[in-house]
Amino acid sequence: AVSFQNAISDVGTDSTSTSPRWEEFNVVGVAKKDEAGCGGMLRDGKRVVRSLFFGLINAVGLEMAEAMAIKTALEVFVGMGWHVKVPFIIKSGSCVALE
């Protein structure tokens, strides 16, 4: 289960712009000996930040932290209702979650 210190928030709205052609979530998972965390930033096709999340998670190892970051990004995107409007790209700096 993900336990966030900061609530997910919609930080960028521009009512004058048209809908972006795609959305991109940059995610990261971090794991130390006793702690793990994850975070992400949702940007639209114009690179405007739309949502942020970060917090401590219950994960063992980097692979699990990365997977939790990707899972949370999907949950945020679907929760915002954008999954029916625009394509979605998840970018991660780590290949371990994909192995």
pLDDT digits (tens, 9 = 90+) for 14-46: 444 445 566 777 888 888 888 888 888 888 778
Q: Which of 44, 90, 45 is nearest to 68 (CA)?
A: 90
Which band of pLDDT confidence, cut at 50, 70 and 90, is reported for residue 95? low
Q: Residue ranges of the domains in the chain? A: 2-6+22-91
Question: CB within 8 A of 25, min separation 6: which ones?
Answer: 40, 41, 42, 43, 73, 76, 77, 88, 89, 90, 91
Structure tokens at 50: 């739309």
Is the CB of residue 82 less than 8 Å from the CB of residue 51?
Answer: no
CATH architecture of the domain with range 2-6+22-91: 2-Layer Sandwich (3.30)
- pTM over 0.85, yes/no: no
* Cβ 25 vs Cβ 77: under 8 Å: yes
Mean pLDDT, rounded, for 67-74: 84
